[in-house]
Amino acid sequence: MKVLTIVVITLGLIGMSFVNAPSNDIEGIQFMDISFADALKKAKEEKKLIFVDAYAVWCGPCKWMEANTFRDKEVGEAFNKNFINLKIDMEKGEGPELARKYNVRAYPTLFLIDGEGNVVKRILGAKKKDQLLSEVEEFTN
């Protein structure tokens, strides 16, 4: 019986690892799982801007953008090519400090930030695909 339990638990853990594994074939923006400091370093090295989705888990418009705008293929192509993409929960981890530093007062707040940490563009509120692409058009090629 112990062997069966161990086998079932092991198979369950293996199955969960596939569920949580990142997928490179996801359409839309591929957000990186790195710290803000690492993103700054990467932005300098790659000579790119950082796109930050400053959100809160309870924010309805943030969830709408995640499910719609950020998953759009055209949006993903533009953002993945031109920016270092980060999603940061402004109420957890390094989020509260960044929220203070960048004066986040509403959700979602979207930023383009250079490798020195300077805000190049601030975008407030939920945006549809065409609106978001228009907002960043001057920074994409």
**What is the pTM for the complete model shown?**
0.81
Asked about 62 being catalytic, the answer comes back as yes
Each residue of 30-39: pLDDT tens digit? 999 999 999 9
Catalytic residue among 50, 59, 104, 132: 59
Q: Across residues 23-28, what is the average pLDDT?
A: 66
- Cα 20 to Cα 13: distance, rounded to the nearest angstrom: 11
**Beta strand ranges found along the chain (DSSP E):** 49-55, 83-89, 109-113, 119-124
Phi, psi (5° rounding) for residue 87?
Answer: -110, 125
- Per-domain boundaries in the chain: 28-139
Q: With bands split at pLDDT 50, 70 and 90, how would you rate the model's confidence at 41?
A: very high
Q: What is the pLDDT of residues 63-107, one digit of tens each?
A: 999 999 999 999 999 999 999 999 999 999 999 999 999 999 999
Q: How confident is the model at residue 2 (pLDDT cuts 50, 70, 90)?
A: low
How much is the average pLDDT of 6-32?
Answer: 58
Return the residue matching tokens 């993945």: 80
28-139 is classed CATH 3.40.50.12280: no
Residue 141 is encoded by which pair of tokens? 């090629």
Q: Is 29 a catalytic residue?
A: no
Return d(Cα 116, Cα 112) in angstroms, integer.
Answer: 12
User: Pairing mode, if any, of strands 49-55 and 83-89?
Assistant: parallel
Query: Bridge partners of 119?
Result: 113
Of 39, 43, 62, 126, the active-site residue reads 62
